[in-house]
Amino acid sequence: MEALTTKRQNESTTSRGRGRPRSEVSRQRILEAALETLQVSGFTSSTTDLIAERAGASKATIYRWWPTKASLLAEALREAVAHEVPFPETGDLAIDIELQLQNFIALLNGRLGRAFKAFVGAAQSDPEVAAAFLEEWVKPRRKEAKTVLERYKMNDQIAPDIDLDFVLDLLYGPLYFRLLSGYGALTPEYAKQITGFALNGLAPQREHSIP
């Protein structure tokens, strides 16, 4: 009997050790529910109650990990995009930039585009949403992109005096403008044009000797 009890305890311990910890599974389920709610209901109508119900979790559990609805929705959006649109690193700067812009445009025109636009729009008038968008979306995404671009600096494909924050403003600013203003379409050709203009200013200037 004692041996059987020990076996069951060991099996229970092994079972708990397999896969993700329970808290991580719950967290991922809440993020998925938040994203689904955002896509179905939009930002304004997405409430913590709706997310909790969809996730099968309590509001107390949600607030233990996220202080506000905005921070939860921002992280859910970032998690989804991080898997769909990682910043590429092929070894060719031109390919990486154009591919990243093409992928971002495809995302904005796809199933997450409406939710993303609603979130960015809400950030323009709500300081809490703006803060969440900055911390959960803008800073992590820019950090990822700058890490890749820094390596191109070290490889002498980007001039050493180039401000990478300014580069990212130039790359993504036009996309956000068209997304929010509705002026002009977000197309693959537009990504190609932005890439061309950006590359003209990124390359180190070579001194030419006079024959």
Work out the average pLDDT over 12-21.
46
- The confidence band for 9, taking pLDDT boundaries of 50, 70 and 90, is very low
Q: How many other C-beta atoms can be found within 10 angstroms of the C-beta atom of residue 25?
A: 11
**Domain 68-202 fold:** Tetracycline Repressor; domain 2 (1.10.357)
Report percent pLDDT > 90 for the chain: 48
Model pTM above 0.85: no
pLDDT in tens, 145-169: 999 999 999 988 888 899 999 999 9
With contact defined as beta carbons under 8 Å apart, do 193 and 187 qualify? no
Work out the average pLDDT over 4-26.
53
Identity of residue 143? K
Q: How many other C-beta atoms can be found within 10 angstroms of the C-beta atom of residue 31?
A: 22
* Domain ranges within the chain, ordered by starting residue: 68-202
pLDDT of residue 206 exceeding 70: no
pLDDT in tens, 24-55: 899 999 999 999 998 888 888 899 999 999 99
With contact defined as beta carbons under 8 Å apart, do 110 and 186 qualify? no
Distance CA 136, CA 43 (A): 15
pLDDT in tens, 90-100: 889 999 999 99
